[in-house]
Amino acid sequence: MVGFRNIVYYFLLTLGFIGLTVLTQIGGFILLFAVYLNVKRIPKFWGDKAFVFILLYDTFTFLIVPIIAPIFGREPIKNTEHIKPTTFFTVLCNRNYVQPAINQALQSASETLIKEEASIQINYLDANFPFFNGFPLLPHLSHNDGKKLDLSFVYENESGQISPLQKSNSGYGIFTEPLQNEINQTQICKDNGYWQYNYSKYLTLGEINTQLSFSEKGTKLLINALLQDQEIGKLFIEPHLKQRLQLTDDRIRFHGCGAVRHDDHIHFQLL
């Protein structure tokens, strides 16, 4: 019986290590460190294992990792009054690290938007992990070098006023569908066997603020403000939105059917 319990324990520990590493990059290693400390440390109390892990994880995430990350050429996204994470989950899971040039691009875009439309807030989604080029930030295919960042669309209320709110808890998965006279790239990709193309609809974590609608004006202003920075090499949105917003910059590209649809967020990356 003891042997079976040990097997179950190490199986669950392995799952925890893998899951936390995939989700946060550092969480799996902190879990092992917490287990080691709990083995060595006495006295113990009820709930102490969780307490030790949470204390270690928060200490590393908010105090230690931001100091070490610049060695790898990355830094946390700098939050301001007009630049904020769509969800705190992004920050908590260390998915908010970028090369300094992205912070500069965000700051410049924010300053431009303040001049043109002060109510537009830049809401960012997944960026990159703090360490090591090539370490995957799942489920993304390319967020592994500090050069990529996803942004939320801009939405407006029923009166046409710009809102800082979003339509899903995760910031992903609520699509701005093509109109009847627009290219339906999603259907084209699915017809060609790319079944995964709209799977992000399962990642919403719940729909919210259903009264909001996609702001053509606000999203176009945001994209054009970003593209004033010549360090930005590519920006991905769905072809029907590029058409609808009358965007002409050559850096606005179709990302390919091998990825997922981009009519729920903007992806941009450095040269």
73 touches 146 (CB < 8 A):
yes
Enumerate residues 6+ apart whose C-beta is below 8 A from 257: 185, 188, 189, 192, 194, 197
Bridge-based pairing state of the strands 232-236 and 252-253: parallel
pLDDT confidence of 93, banded at 50, 70, 90? very high
* Per-residue pLDDT reduced to its tens digit, 227-236: 999 999 999 9
DSSP E strands: which ranges in the chain? 75-76, 83-85, 97-98, 122-124, 148-152, 155-156, 162-163, 213-214, 232-236, 252-253, 265-270
pLDDT for res 2? 58
* Per-residue pLDDT reduced to its tens digit, 128-151: 999 999 999 999 989 999 999 999
Tokens of 182: 């627009």
pLDDT confidence of 173, banded at 50, 70, 90? very high
Least confidently predicted of 35-49, 62-76, 149-163, 167-181: 35-49
pLDDT for res 1? 52
Enumerate residues 6+ apart whose C-beta is below 8 A from 253: 234, 235, 236
Least confidently predicted of 20-24, 34-38, 150-154, 224-228: 34-38
pLDDT for res 40? 73
Please state the rounded mean pLDDT for residues 208-225: 96
Tokens of 121: 């807030």
pLDDT confidence of 117, banded at 50, 70, 90? confident
**Consecutive H or E run containing 245:** none
Least confidently predicted of 25-39, 54-68, 78-92, 214-228: 25-39
Phi, psi of 213 (to 5 degrees): -135, 160
pLDDT for res 45? 64
Please state the rounded mean pLDDT for residues 34-50: 75
Task: Compute the distance between CA of residue 57 and CA of residue 27 in angstroms, rounded to an integer.
Answer: 7
187 touches 102 (CB < 8 A):
no
* Per-residue pLDDT reduced to its tens digit, 43-75: 666 668 888 899 999 999 999 999 999 999 999
